[in-house]
Structure 1
Amino acid sequence: MEGSKADISIVVVPFPAQGHLNQFLHLSIRLSSHGLAVHYAAPGPHIRQARSRLQGWPATVIESLHFHELPIPSYASPAPNPNSSIFFPSHLQTLFDVFEDVEPHLANLLQALSATSRRVVVISEPLTSFAAREAAVLPNAEPYTFWTTPLSTTSAVFGEESPATALLKSLGVKIPSWEDCFSKEFQALVTRIQAKFRPESGLLTNTSRSIEGEFLDFFMQQPNFIGKKLFPIGPLNPTNNMEAHKPRHQCLDWLDKQPASSVLYISLGSNSSISDVQIEQLATGLLNGDQQFVWVLKEADRCDVFVKKETDQKNKLPCGFMEKVKGKGLIIGDWAPQLEILAHKAIAGFMSHCGWNSCMESISMGVPILAWPMHSDQPWNSIFVSDYLKVGVIVRDWDRRKEILLAGEIEETIKKVMVYDSGEEIRRRAKELGDTIDVSPIDRPSSLNRKTSSVAPALDTEKPLSSLYRLSSLPTLSLPLTRD
């Protein structure tokens, strides 16, 4: 055998936003669990953020990781604007604008590891592609891209004549508009990043054949991906036997007292904000719907999540709301252990912004999704889970994003999943898909999937994470995607 695990270094470089930090941390834990040296490189505050929000794993698992703080220029951390004309978190742009300045510090880290390691595998993402550029100049380094959004987002826009688009049309799935998904400033940043050369040897993606089998095949047929490897390694989050935070969050104690499959969980994303008027309408819809719920109602994350918040979102609830829902509803005013909440037997549905991290967590737990997209890939994700996978419903259609969603509509959508007989099929499909992922962690076509193409020679469908180790000339290792 050429070399050993000990002389291989894996460096992961996430974009500094919660959904990215979290997925990269899960990936790092998976890789390090097999004795590989994994280096998590990010600005100091974002390393702290990722570590403090770890869910589902024993706290000791991160002790095996090597955290490297990348110095970054100072930046403002303004409050979010819930009354913005678009829902994209533009208040984070001050961080995004300076983030690439960490590149020389990352280059120093990679050079140091290159000198002491037989092989260096660098895993970045499109928004941190400078890491791939730095890896490409080293003689013993190889760059890979980790895709933190579903591959179907790219497949769906390959063009009007693409097989992916033809499939969606045949199923009656409407591809939502990309208008207002991003701010103009962020679009300009992405355009600038994409204009620079980004080498890569392959792609890792937080998905599986059970979820995106057809789109994986479509992706592999794209001319710019010929000769590369695709590793569907999701879900990365634990799916069973999870360990709760210690001390245990109080919401879990409250959920313990509720009947099985009786509670709606509501969280519209760590970076999202809704207006005071919309908060009032959502609260009224919950009150009139008479459903038990756990609602994460907090200010959207700032660039520095440890900055003290100026306002308590609970103060924006209708007068007397807390008294009226006492015993039926729970409001969480800060960060919540979402993965542990979704895994709880009392949870029956998840009203979500449909960030891909949240989608994967909900799908892997067999929980139906009530989709309320806010920005980025979320409008597509909402259609994907509702119209393609059919494990959810749309709360607010993206075409109506400028409107205030009224309490009556919110109440009716909740009942479609939680109360009406019509929701039984959605709940059944969600559970079946979740069980498929949990019971069969090795990626293979699911009974929920339609017929998929077998023409994907570079797609590792047997043991995708195990195959990843062969990038470093390691023997094949068996890595289950659920915890024993």
Structure 2
Amino acid sequence: MGEDQNQQNHEENGVKEAPHVAVVMVPFPAQGHLNQLLQLSRIISSYNIPVHYVGSATHINQAKLRLQGWDPLLEPNFHFHDFPTPHFHSPPPDPDASVQFPAHLQPCFEASSELREPVAALLRELSLTVDRLIVINDSLMGSVVQDFVGIGNAESYTFHSVSVFSIFFFFWESLGRPALEGVKIPEDVPSLDGCFTLEFFKFLVFQHEFKKLSSGNLYYTSKLIEGPYVDILREEEIDGVKKKGWALGPLNLVTTYSDKTSNPGDKCLEWLDKQAPKSVLLVSFGTSTSLTDEQIKELAIGLERSGHKFIWLLRDADKGDIFSEEVRRSELPEGYEERMKETGMGVVVREWAPQLEILGHSSTGGLMCHCGWNSCLESISMGVPIAAWPMHSDQPRNAALVTQVLQVGLAVKEWAEREQLVAASAIEKAVRRLMASEEGNAMRKKAQQLGNSLQRSMEEGGVSRKELDGFIAHITRQLGF
């Protein structure tokens, strides 16, 4: 959907220009979180609302470097504000840790609290230039934006970067797991054991205390995917308060990648152009997971034995500062990369790659991933089924949503077996199930239908578009302080 058409549609829907309102985006300093609020910034700025995206210089540069699909520097309503990067230790990830949560990022997370003062100063400055100042902060940045309460014309909205399904289960379990009509509850809800480190859990609890200051909740999802769970969170009082909520997603550019626009310099997209439709498996474990050397070798062997073509984005987890020293180069079996290249069976990509474009390519027929929520939504919105291999955080419950509720994926590894090595034979079997079985074809068909519905939902009158227009109408409502 082009920006000119986008703006025209907004005006037809009765959403007028709102120069009296400005939005400040405050993302959490981890790749998935940075990208989500950057994409939301693009959408909100298309309504002719000024958007200010703030963070440390290091993480602003990271967001710019990895952005796909648009150039914010060409948007007159979009502004970056990069503050001096707080000092923090940036160690490499530990793939052999007993808990796979990226504990090496904890110093970066803690240092983000130092942004409170410069963010408060910016809010005070901007508040003098508009009638209403809207703060949209990641749920893990509540402490950073807390000073908005002292600004008379400011209000905040908490952006939830995880699935509503995972949020719902926190709430449902706190109520004693009651029976709920019209809501599908998986038979075995994955436990939270092994999902977080104690240090991060304490950080999470601390940030949760500031949610009471916000005026509402923004959920990164679509009602087409998580409608019943969204409805429950909207209707129930959480922490004793009932607040407005909107399902704003998917935020990525929900358009199918055109094979004709392949970047000549991008080897994986060039290679995809030569493959048969729906024949390639993308293997990607995101930016917060590091596999052990032993697991990498088993994965390599399993992929080769499956006989199916693949693109493997083989990278270590991000460090807190991605611009610091080089990361570990994972070792593959001797001659593996050369053999895959010579036979044309696979491509191993060790640098940053355009995952969204790869998923949108007509040759891509499956995704093996960690079930980070960004990857899940990107894959589903592009109509690609998932081989689920959760690692930490909300990922086990996202995997349950994908495999048991939506039925657009299968499990490579169950969460109860998280401490076990996944053998090459199990990987081979999972790939063949997803890529070349009746079961996999049914999942692919269902994923394509859901992806098509999601794309239509962003058009005028669609369910996702109505949610977005509803939020814009709310923040640009008549002033009545």
Structure 1 length as normaliser, TM-score?
0.89
Question: SS at the partner of 1:21?
Answer: helix
Structure 1 counterpart SS, 2:19: helix
- Are residues 241 and 166 of structure 1, via their aligned partners in 2, closer, same or farther at CA, if it must alter by over 3 Å? closer
Kindly indicate whether the alpha-carbon contact (under 8 Å) linking 1:9 and 1:38 is maintained by their aligned counterparts in 2.
yes
The residue aligned with 1:448 is none
Amino acid across the alignment from 1:319: E
What corresponds to 1:324 in structure 2?
Answer: 339
Deviation at 1:98, TM superposition (A): 1.3
The residue aligned with 1:481 is none
> 1:355 aligned to 372, 377, 388, which one?
372
Q: Quick one: which of 104, 107, 125 aligns to 1:112?
A: 125
Query: Structure 1 residue 100 and structure 2 residue 113: aligned?
Result: yes
Give yes or no for contact 2:280–2:366 (8 Å, CA) kept in 1: yes
Distance 2:442 2:108 in 1: 43
171, 178, 182: which one pairs with 1:162? 178
Are 2:26 and 1:20 aligned? no
Match of 1:464 among 445, 449, 467: 467
Q: What amino acid maps onto 1:188 in structure 2?
A: K
What is the Cα deviation at residue 227 of structure 1?
4.6
Contact 2:306 2:432 in 1 (8 A): yes
Counterpart check, 1:173 vs 2:190: no
Letter in 2 for 1:390: Q
- Checking the alignment, whether the CA contact within 8 Å between 2:257 and 2:361 is kept in structure 1 is no
Whether 1:150 aligns to 2:163 is: yes
RMSD over aligned Cα atoms: 2.4
CA distance in structure 2 between the partners assigned to 1:175 and 1:333 by the alignment:
34
Moved more, 297-306 or 464-473: 464-473
Q: State how far apart, in whole Å, the 2-side matches of 1:311 and 1:333 are.
A: 10
Shift of 1:198: 3.5
Name the structure 1 match of 2:139: 126
SS for the counterpart of 2:245 is strand
TM-score (ref. length: structure 2): 0.90
1:305 is displaced (CA, Å) by: 0.9
**Cα deviations by residue, 1:194-226 (Å, 9 ceiling, x for unpaired):** 345641111111111110011011112221375
Tell me if the contact between 2:119 and 2:145 (Cα under 8 Å) persists in the aligned partners. Answer: no
Partner-residue secondary structure (3-state), 1:235: coil
Q: Deviations over 1:335-361 (max 9, x none)?
A: 111001100011000001111111110
| 2:200 counterpart (163, 167, 186) | 186
The partner residue of 1:200 within 214, 218, 239 is 214
Aligned residues of 2:101 and 2:197 also touching (Cα < 8 A)? yes
Q: CA deviation at 1:472?
A: 3.2
Which amino acid is the alignment partner of residue 308 of structure 2? Answer: Q
CA distance in 1: counterparts of 2:225 and 2:350, whole angstroms: 32
**Contact 2:359/2:382, CA 8 A, preserved across alignment:** yes
Structure 2 matches for 1:232-381, cutoff 5 A? 232-240=247-255, 248-313=265-330, 316-326=331-341, 327-381=344-398
The Cα offsets for residues 231-253 of structure 1, whole Å up to 9 and x where unpaired, read as 11100001116587966522101
Q: CA deviation at 1:84?
A: 0.8
Residues 285 and 175 of structure 1: is their aligned pair in 2 closer, same or farther, counting only changes over 3 Å? same
SS in 1 for 2:365: strand
Matches within 5 A, 1:375-454: 375-441=392-458
* 1:45 aligns to 2:58 (yes or no): yes
Uncovered stretches (5+) of structure 2, i.e. residues with no partner: 1-13
Give CA deviations for 1:383-432 in whole Å, capped at 9, x if unaligned.
Answer: 11011000000111111110100000010011111011221211111111
- Supply the distance in 2 between the matched residues of 1:245 and 1:98 (Cα, whole angstroms): 39
Distance 1:34 1:149, change over 3 A: same
Q: What is the DSSP-based 3-state SS (H/G/I as helix, E as strand, rest coil) of the residue aligned with 2:213?
A: coil
| Structure 1 residue runs without a partner (length 5+) | 446-459, 476-484
Paired residue secondary structure (1:41): strand
1:156 aligned counterpart, secondary structure: helix
Q: Distance in 2 between matches of 1:470 and 1:111?
A: 24
Aligned pair in 2 of structure 1 residues 438, 310: CA closer, same or farther (>3 Å)? closer
Output one character per residue of 1:164-199: Cα deviation in whole Å (capped at 9) or x when no partner.
599444xx4321010111111111212222345641
Alpha carbons of structure 1 residues 367 and 188: separation in structure 2 relative to 1, 3 Å: same
Q: Secondary structure at the match of 2:80?
A: strand
Query: Hey, what's the Cα distance between the residues in 2 that align with 1:23 and 1:47?
Result: 13
Match of 1:35 in 2: 48
Counterpart of 1:142 in 2: which secondary structure?
strand
Give the whole-Å Cα distance in 2 for the aligned partners of 1:302 and 1:461. 34
The answer to whether the Cα contact below 8 Å between 1:239 and 1:438 also exists between their aligned partners in 2 is: yes
Instruction: State the SS of the aligned residue for 2:430.
Output: helix
Mapped to 2, the partners of 1:151 and 1:443 lie a distance apart of: 24
Residues in 2 aligned to 1:329 and 1:246: alpha-carbon distance in whole angstroms: 19
Structure 2 residue aligned with 1:478: none
Give the fraction of aligned pairs with identical amino acids, expressed as a percent: 38
Once residues 207 and 475 of structure 2 are traced to their aligned partners in structure 1, the CA distance between those partners, rounded to angstroms, is 28
Tell me the residue number matched to 1:451. Answer: none
Q: Aligned letter for 1:375?
A: H
Pair 240,58 (structure 1): closer, same or farther in 2 beyond 3 Å: farther
- Please say if residues 363 and 434 of structure 1, whose CA atoms lie closer than 8 Å, have aligned partners that are also in contact: yes
